[in-house]
Structure 1
């Protein structure tokens, strides 16, 4: 396997067999990061029905949580928020969630403005409305 595997003790546990990140040269590639909290099945801003389906959610709470999880992985790997160079964002409801997400994104990325791609997907592996895939530099 190419590159150093990085697993965070602070970010939520991966939901499959993959690392939080992998370092290759001076680049850090993060796996998809969602808003869950480590050691818990609870998802900030999400209410589930008795069948485990999303009954209601707060995209702002999920955005803040996913940004925090990305920060945790970056810092534990030896990088930093300001070293992000590319961000791919997956939203499950572009029409409903993009305005709030875009406003919060501008707040969090005020000084560092990495390349960004935002796409709508029909669903994500867990009952979440947002996931980020990131690339950062690392020294």
Structure 2
């Protein structure tokens, strides 16, 4: 079993395609659940990754930062027992779906190498995020077996 529980696929024989996430994940009891707030690409020093003067923010760099931050949050909340691979559910918010979905998904697929280990996921287009420099935000739920 994957560290984030059991994947459920309506059609496990279907090709993976461009996106890597199952329709659902299930976990039995004996675990700690971590609810992760919306995380953006802001660093502890207040800087935002993926920003260059005069250019569109880089969704790939922002997604990398977000997934790394989520990994650190889960590790911290579980005394190092878990990490980003313990996500069971995630919601990705994009301010420009057409422009940024492929780039976000490219990074997502490097972190989660198959649907069998990826969290269930929804991707939602939104008008704005809390800071105009953010083009992506991710919130999620992780389960770490104790």
| Band the TM-score falls in, shorter-chain normalisation | 0.7 to 0.9
Q: Does 1:37 align with 2:43?
A: yes
**Deviation >4 Å, runs of 4+:** none
Question: For the Cα contact (< 8 Å) 2:67–2:84, is it kept in 1?
Answer: no
By how many angstroms is 1:102 displaced?
1.0
**1:77-126 CA distances to partner (integer Å, 9 max, x unpaired)?**
11322211001000000000001111111111115211000000011001
Question: Which 5+ residue runs of structure 2 have no aligned equivalent?
Answer: 1-30
- Structure-1-length-normalised TM-score: 0.72
Q: Relative contact order (alpha carbons < 8 A, sep ≥ 6): 1 or 2 greater?
A: 2
Q: Does 1:132 align with 2:138?
A: yes
Question: For the Cα contact (< 8 Å) 1:84–1:136, is it kept in 2?
Answer: yes
Aligned to 1:83: 86
CA distance in 2, matches of 1:48, 1:129: 15
CA distance in 2, matches of 1:110, 1:59: 19
Question: Which 5+ residue runs of structure 1 have no aligned equivalent?
Answer: 1-24, 50-54
Question: For the Cα contact (< 8 Å) 1:46–1:128, is it kept in 2?
Answer: no
Alignment RMSD: 1.7
Aligned to 1:10: none
Equivalent pairs, count: 109
